[in-house]
């Protein structure tokens, strides 16, 4: 006997949540591309940083999946969008990452706004962790961009900074919502 799942019409919040799953997976793939670019440039600390960022974005996507499962909503696992692989330099790479984080923050804010407008206070509360996370992500990426600019082309200084500082070490927040399949 086949398992049949019905698709209920979704609220705006759940449509945005489903779209955000795509955005988080795409961000994960983009961060892999950045990490590989840094690996190819023999910049292991920057590569390591973005490999970790990729896993973190994957975990965010899977936390959104788990929330939809917990709320008994149908989940569609999307493909990812285009990923940029070619860059002229480190500053351009970090600027792309910062812009990506700002876009995610705007998307999460729209989700929170939709939940509030729909008087879905449970979903609004769920978005709060992600909003807090985006403040941290934007701050960390802004700091990394400043370090790159101040290094004035001396990438060994950037590498040393990342080696010394725990920038974007991720995965240590015990308040993170549950992740489908477990956090990586």
Q: Which whole number is the average pLDDT over 85-95?
A: 96
Tokens coding 32: 């892999």
What are the sequence ranges of the domains in the chain? 12-151
pLDDT higher than 50, residue 128: yes
Query: For residue 4, what pLDDT band results from cuts at 50, 70 and 90?
Result: very low
Question: What pLDDT was estimated at residue 174?
Answer: 72
Q: Binding site for Fe cation, residues?
A: 24, 57, 60, 101, 134
pLDDT, tens digit (0-9, with 9 covering 90-100), for 27-63: 999 999 999 999 999 999 999 999 999 999 999 999 9
- What is the third-level CATH fold of 12-151? Ferritin (1.20.1260)
- What pTM does this model have? 0.89
Instruction: For the chain, count helices (H), then strands (E).
Output: 5, 0
Q: Binding site, residues?
A: 24, 57, 60, 101, 134
Residues recorded for the chain = 184
Nearest partner of 28 among 4, 2, 7, 59, judged by Cα: 59
Torsion of CA 15, 75, 56, 51, to 10 degrees: -110
């Amino acid at each position: 006997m086949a398992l049949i799942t019905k698709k209920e019409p979704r609220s705006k919040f759940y449509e945005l949540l489903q779209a955000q799953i795509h955005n988080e997976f795409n961000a994960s793939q983009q961060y892999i591309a950045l990490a590989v670019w840094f690996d190819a440039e023999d910049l292991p600390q920057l590569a390591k940083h973005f490999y970790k960022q990729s896993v973190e974005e994957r975990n965010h996507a899977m936390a959104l999946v788990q929330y939809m499962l917990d709320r008994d909503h149908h989940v569609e696992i999307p493909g990812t969008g285009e990923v940029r692989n070619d860059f002229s330099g480190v500053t351009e790479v970090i600027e792309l990452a910062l812009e990506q984080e700002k876009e995610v923050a705007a998307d999460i804010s729209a989700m929170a706004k939709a939940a509030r407008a729909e008087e879905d206070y449970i979903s609004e509360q769920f978005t709060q962790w992600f909003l807090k996370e985006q403040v941290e992500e934007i701050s960390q990426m802004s700091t990394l961009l400043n370090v790159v600019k101040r290094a004035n082309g001396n990438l060994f200084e950037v590498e040393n900074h990342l080696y010394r500082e725990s920038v974007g070490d991720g995965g240590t927040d015990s308040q993170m919502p549950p992740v489908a399949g477990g956090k990586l």
